[in-house]
């Protein structure tokens, strides 16, 4: 059964002394999916990824990667995964080709396949003609693509990317995700962490981490539809006063100003009329009320609010 | 196994690239021991000789000239100034222009020729105990032998043609270091200590640097095993350390004239055993250090005692018992005895056995402990 799963994490927990970095995180990712782990810095994403790669030992819980237990069969796991760490850890004083060759030899890429494989990777990473350049002279985007090439030199069926796009310009970020798509198209399963919410759009499955916990796990569309009710975009005059009016309304879950527009969150589609009436009875001219899909950022903020409210309630009890 | 060897060779190749891509560090690594040898060689091993001496000879007789000649001929003193009075000598001592002064009073010659005791006053600057002790010993010896000579002359003159022989003549012969040159004592010791310092720092840095760069984390997810990684990292530095040994021994022989009495092959083999342990220590240090700075200070904890307690500069036999026994905890103490034994005495394997086995035990234990403890997990 586990053969179809790329990752299974069961109550995965990591404590450093008194601090719990990852708290009872459970999830299952089918093979061939791109799984995005979102959350602010310090949420526990990197610690989770490090446990899955066998760099850190879990304090409690267990995890299987490509069907192998990360604690018991670390060597089996290592042969099947590629890992790109946060800082694109490359050897600065080695050339592009030497960095690639180093990892290829460590992973035991067969000698007769070595040359064609490296040529293929250099072409993929767009580094042709730069083979002899020292890595320290490469730009951020090139280092990123070289790090990716190093991570997949042994054609692993599972790829872990920790903040793969940090410090890279938007165009290169998009190109990078194109490459990830191609790999996923070839059947590679991917787990990527990021704190850019917009990048989650590239993922098939999204997990949101906050304060060491996994607070949401779903595909992007269901997240948009289901998690936080209905979002209306309100175009009206006197938006400042309108915001105050709506805030006091019991049926409104949240109001946020987006430029001159207001984003109003309510429980259901049917409450549109009630919103309009309230505003008009307060003497505010309403131009337009339109249902919109929330961005992942909206969803994350709303989930975090929800989580914090629960925390407070728990503290009071 | 073959895959393991390939991975190790890959690490070796990479480490070698790091070494040769950084020629400035490489130059320092190679030049540093030789520089240290030359500097220490001149600074520490300088035997006390030609102590500047001022002479106030008011006697101006054969006897006084004989005494001054004998002081000069001994090689310990050089007459740099002449003075007219005791006050002048004291002034020059105050000013530091001389380290010793000899005042021969007017009546000295008369006392000596008439069979009395000629008293002279000798001043020594005691601020540097080494110079002062040497000067004292030298002046005592010289005055005694001068006395003897004068006494013999006197007796021969009065004893009507008979020759006088001194009743006791102790003949001293120094083995191994016939001229008692400190350099001979120091060079072999420096070879040992330099090796210790080099290997410790180089390996500790080589591993901590990967931790700092984050590449160690990347290595941990590869199938490389800790012993492959360790050996792969250590081997290039063994080569570097061997170049260091060869260069220090060569400079010692060519520049300072300290030749190797024993077998070079034995020296090389035992150096290898020592290196294993020393590099292992470097790995242990890198296990507990997060930054190169920490590693540097950790290494100093081992380096300072190596300089002081192992018997490089001062003989261990003269140390208080705590320091004496603490020396046995340092592998470099054993290695120092071994290197001195081979270079100075031409000692063989069996003669040195008592020093070899503790060092070998230490090296093997430390090496395997370091492989074992080398944490592949962060």
Q: Are residues B20 and B103 in the same domain?
A: no
Nearest CA distance, A105 vs chain B (angstrom): 6
Asked if B17 reaches chain A (Cβ–Cβ under 8 Å), the answer is yes
Out of A78, A90, A94, closest to residue B223 by CB: A78
Please give the full DSSP string across A30-71, using - where no structure is assigned.
ETT-EEEEE--TTSSHHHHHHHHTTSS--SEEEEEETTEETT
| Three-class DSSP category at A186 | coil
User: In this structure, is residue B163 part of a structural domain?
Assistant: no
pLDDT in tens, B303-325: 888 878 887 777 787 888 888 88
Asked if B222 reaches chain A (Cβ–Cβ under 8 Å), the answer is yes
**Residue A27 has what pLDDT?**
92
For chain A, helix (H) and strand (E) counts, in that order, are 10, 14
Give chain B positions within 8 Å (CB) of A105: 6-7, 9-10
How far apart (Å, rounded) are the C-alpha atoms in residues A165 and A174? Answer: 9
pLDDT in tens, A29-45: 999 899 999 888 888 99
Task: Report chain A's C-alpha Rg in angstroms.
Answer: 23
- Domain annotation for chain A: domains and CATH numbers: 2-224 (3.40.50.300), 229-293 (3.30.70.920)
How sure is the predictor about A61, in pLDDT bands with cuts at 50, 70 and 90? very high
How sure is the predictor about A48, in pLDDT bands with cuts at 50, 70 and 90? very high
Q: Are residues B58 and B84 in the same domain?
A: yes
For residue A222, with 0-12 CB atoms within 10 Å meaning exposed, 13-18 middle and 19 or more buried, which class applies? exposed
**Residue B40 has what pLDDT?**
76
Give percent of chain A with pLDDT exceeding 70. 97
Asked if B25 reaches chain A (Cβ–Cβ under 8 Å), the answer is no
Residue B323 CA, chain-centre distance (Å), reads 18
Whether the predicted pLDDT of A6 surpasses 60: yes
Of A122, A118, A116, A81, residue with least CA distance to A101: A118
Length, in residues, of chain B: 378
B68-76, long-range: CB within 8 Å, 24+ apart, which pairs? B68/B102, B68/B104, B70/B142, B70/B145, B70/B146, B71/B102, B71/B138, B71/B139, B71/B142, B74/B138, B74/B141, B74/B142, B75/B49, B75/B50, B76/B48, B76/B49, B76/B50, B76/B51, B76/B134, B76/B135, B76/B138
- In this prediction, residues A176-204 reach a mean pLDDT of 89
Asked if B209 reaches chain A (Cβ–Cβ under 8 Å), the answer is no
**Residue A229 has what pLDDT?**
75
**Residue B161 has what pLDDT?**
61
**Residue A2 has what pLDDT?**
46
Q: How many domains does chain B have?
A: 2
* Phi, psi of A217, deg, nearest 5: -150, 110
Residue B197 · residue B306 · CB < 8 Å: yes
Kindly state the tokens that stand for B219. 């290595």
Q: Are residues B289 and B229 in the same domain?
A: yes
Best A21, A105, A113 residue to mutate vs chain B (most B CBs within 10 Å): A105
**Residue B9 has what pLDDT?**
94
Half-sphere exposure of A307 (CA within 13 A, CB side): 16
Q: Are residues B187 and B301 in the same domain?
A: yes
| CATH number, position B152 | 3.40.1710.10
Best A106, A107, A110, A147 residue to mutate vs chain B (most B CBs within 10 Å): A106
Q: What is the mean pLDDT of chain A?
A: 88
How far apart (Å, rounded) are the C-alpha atoms in residues A225 and A231? Answer: 10
**Residue A4 has what pLDDT?**
79
- The answer to whether B215 contacts A78, with C-beta atoms less than 8 Å apart, is no
Q: Are residues B341 and B273 in the same domain?
A: yes
How sure is the predictor about A114, in pLDDT bands with cuts at 50, 70 and 90? very high
**Residue A37 has what pLDDT?**
92
Alpha carbon of B65 to those of B90, B102, B104, B112, B142: distances in Å? 21, 12, 10, 12, 13
Q: Specify which residues B123 forms β-bridges with.
A: B101
Alpha carbon of A148 to those of A115, B117, B358: distances in Å? 18, 95, 49
- The answer to whether B14 contacts A75, with C-beta atoms less than 8 Å apart, is no
- The answer to whether A91 contacts B215, with C-beta atoms less than 8 Å apart, is yes
Q: What are the residue ranges in chain B where pLDDT is below 50? A: 377-378
Question: If you ran DSSP here, which 8-state letter would residue A134 be given?
Answer: B
**Full domain range(s) for residue B205:** 2-44+181-373
Residue A229 · residue A239 · CB < 8 Å: no
User: In this structure, is residue B140 part of a structural domain?
Assistant: yes
User: In this structure, is residue B112 part of a structural domain?
Assistant: yes
For residue B23, with 0-12 CB atoms within 10 Å meaning exposed, 13-18 middle and 19 or more buried, which class applies? exposed
Kindly state the tokens that stand for A92. 């600065």
User: In this structure, is residue B172 part of a structural domain?
Assistant: no
Whether the predicted pLDDT of A228 surpasses 70: no
Q: Are residues B260 and B319 in the same domain?
A: yes
Q: Where are the beta strands (DSSP E) in A126-174?
A: 158-162
**Residue B46 has what pLDDT?**
61
Asked if B148 reaches chain A (Cβ–Cβ under 8 Å), the answer is no
Nearest CA distance, A53 vs chain B (angstrom): 6
Q: Are residues B211 and B360 in the same domain?
A: yes
Asked if B7 reaches chain A (Cβ–Cβ under 8 Å), the answer is yes
Q: Give the residue with greater pLDDT, B330 vs A157.
A: A157
Q: Are residues B118 and B265 in the same domain?
A: no
Give chain A positions within 8 Å (CB) of B222: 78, 103, 106-107
**Residue A184 has what pLDDT?**
92
Residue A266 · residue A253 · CB < 8 Å: yes
**Residue A227 has what pLDDT?**
64
**Residue B47 has what pLDDT?**
65
B288 Cβ neighbours under 8 A, 6+ residues apart? B294, B298
**Residue B246 has what pLDDT?**
87
- In this prediction, residues A76-98 reach a mean pLDDT of 90
- In this prediction, residues A165-184 reach a mean pLDDT of 89
User: In this structure, is residue B355 part of a structural domain?
Assistant: yes
Q: Are residues B185 and B270 in the same domain?
A: yes
- The answer to whether A86 contacts B377, with C-beta atoms less than 8 Å apart, is no
The torsion of the CA quartet A225, A229, A233, A234, rounded to 10 degrees, works out to: 160
Whether the predicted pLDDT of A163 surpasses 60: yes
* Phi, psi of B25, deg, nearest 5: -65, -40
pLDDT in tens, B261-295: 889 899 999 998 998 888 888 888 888 888 888 88
User: In this structure, is residue B175 part of a structural domain?
Assistant: no
Give chain A positions within 8 Å (CB) of B18: 91, 93-94
Kindly state the tokens that stand for A165. 């796009």
How sure is the predictor about A270, in pLDDT bands with cuts at 50, 70 and 90? confident
Asked if B224 reaches chain A (Cβ–Cβ under 8 Å), the answer is yes
**Residue B45 has what pLDDT?**
55
Q: Are residues B93 and B198 in the same domain?
A: no
Among B92, B125, B158, identify where a domain stops: B158
User: In this structure, is residue B359 part of a structural domain?
Assistant: yes
How sure is the predictor about A302, in pLDDT bands with cuts at 50, 70 and 90? confident
Closest residue in A to B214 (Cα–Cα): A89
Give the helix/strand (H/E) hosting A19.
strand A19-30
Among B97, B127, B158, identify where a domain stops: B158
ipTM above 0.90, yes or no: no
The torsion of the CA quartet B23, B25, B31, B36, rounded to 10 degrees, works out to: 170
Q: Within 10 A of B15 (CB to CB), how many other CB atoms are there?
A: 16
Q: Are residues B108 and B244 in the same domain?
A: no
| Three-class DSSP category at A25 | strand
User: In this structure, is residue B12 part of a structural domain?
Assistant: yes
* Phi, psi of B171, deg, nearest 5: -105, 125
Q: Are residues B122 and B10 in the same domain?
A: no
Q: Give the residue with greater pLDDT, B157 vs A93.
A: A93
| Three-class DSSP category at A257 | strand
Interface A:B, Cβ pairs < 8 A: 72
């Amino acid at each position: 059964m586990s053969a179809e799963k790329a990752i299974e994490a069961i109550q995965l927990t990591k404590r450093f002394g008194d601090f719990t970095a990852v708290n009872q995180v459970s999830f299952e990712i089918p093979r061939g999916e791109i799984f995005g782990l979102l959350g602010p810095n310090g949420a526990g994403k990197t610690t989770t990824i490090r446990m899955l790669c066998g760099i850190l030992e879990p304090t409690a819980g267990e995890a299987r990667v490509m069907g192998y237990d990360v604690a018991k069969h670390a060597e089996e796991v290592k042969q099947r995964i590629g890992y790109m760490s946060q800082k694109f850890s490359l050897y600065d004083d080695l050339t592009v080709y030497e960095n690639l060759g180093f990892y290829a030899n460590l992973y035991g890429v067969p000698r007769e396949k070595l040359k064609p494989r490296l040529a293929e990777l250099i072409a993929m990473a767009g580094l042709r003609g730069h083979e002899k350049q020292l890595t320290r002279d490469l730009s951020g985007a090139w280092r990123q693509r070289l790090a990716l090439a190093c991570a997949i030199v042994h054609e692993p069926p599972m790829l872990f990317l920790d903040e793969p796009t940090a410090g890279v310009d938007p165009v290169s970020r998009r190109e990078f995700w194109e490459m990830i798509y191609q790999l996923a198209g070839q059947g590679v399963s991917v787990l990527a962490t990021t704190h850019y919410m917009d990048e989650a759009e590239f993922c098939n499955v999204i997990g949101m981490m906050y304060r060491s916990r996994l607070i949401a796990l779903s595909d992007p569309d269901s997240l948009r539809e289901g998690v936080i009710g209905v979002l209306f975009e309100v175009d009206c005059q006197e938006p400042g006063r309108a915001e105050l009016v709506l805030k006091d309304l019991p049926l409104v879950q949240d109001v946020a100003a987006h430029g001159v527009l207001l984003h109003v969150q309510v429980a259901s589609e049917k409450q549109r009329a009630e919103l309009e009436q309230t505003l008009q009875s307060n003497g505010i001219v309403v131009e337009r009320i339109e249902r919109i899909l929330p961005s992942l950022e909206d969803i994350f903020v709303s989930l975090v609010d929800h989580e914090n409210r629960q925390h407070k309630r728990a503290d009071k009890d | 196994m073959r895959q393991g060897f390939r991975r190790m060779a890959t690490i070796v190749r990479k480490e070698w690239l790091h070494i040769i891509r950084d020629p400035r560090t490489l130059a320092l690594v190679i030049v540093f021991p030789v520089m240290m040898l030359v500097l220490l060689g001149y600074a520490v091993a300088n035997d006390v000789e030609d102590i500047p001496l001022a002479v106030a000879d008011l006697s101006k007789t054969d006897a006084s000239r004989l005494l001054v000649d004998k002081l000069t001929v001994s090689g310990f003193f050089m007459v740099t100034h002449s003075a007219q009075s005791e006050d002048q000598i004291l002034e020059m001592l105050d000013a530091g222009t001389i380290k010793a002064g000899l005042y021969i009073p007017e009546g000295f010659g008369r006392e000596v020729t008439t069979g009395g005791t000629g008293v002279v006053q000798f001043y020594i600057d005691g601020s540097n105990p080494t110079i002062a002790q040497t000067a004292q010993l030298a002046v005592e010896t010289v005055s005694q032998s001068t006395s003897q000579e004068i006494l013999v002359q006197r007796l021969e003159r009065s004893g009507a043609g008979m020759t006088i022989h001194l009743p006791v003549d102790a003949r001293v012969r120094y083995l191994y270091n016939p001229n008692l040159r400190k350099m001979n004592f120091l060079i072999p010791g420096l070879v040992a200590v330099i090796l210790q310092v080099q290997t410790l720092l180089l390996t500790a840095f080589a591993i901590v640097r990967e931790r700092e760069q984050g590449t160690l984390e990347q290595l941990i997810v590869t199938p490389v095993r800790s012993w492959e990684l360790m050996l792969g990292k250590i081997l290039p530095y063994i080569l570097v350390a061997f170049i260091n040994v060869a260069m220090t021994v060569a400079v010692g022989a060519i520049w300072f004239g300290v030749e190797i009495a024993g077998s070079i092959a034995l020296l090389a083999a035992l150096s290898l055993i020592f290196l294993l342990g020393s590099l292992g220590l470097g790995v242990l240090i890198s296990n507990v250090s997060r930054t190169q700075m920490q590693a540097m200070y950790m290494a100093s904890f081992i380096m300072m005692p190596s300089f002081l307690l192992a018997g490089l500069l001062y003989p261990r036999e003269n140390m208080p018992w705590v320091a004496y026994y603490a020396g046995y905890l340092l592998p470099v103490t054993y290695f120092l005895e071994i290197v001195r034994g081979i270079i100075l005495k031409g000692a063989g394997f069996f003669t040195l056995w008592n020093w070899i086995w503790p060092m070998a035990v230490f090296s093997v234990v430390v090496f395997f402990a370091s492989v074992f403890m080398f944490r592949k997990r962060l």
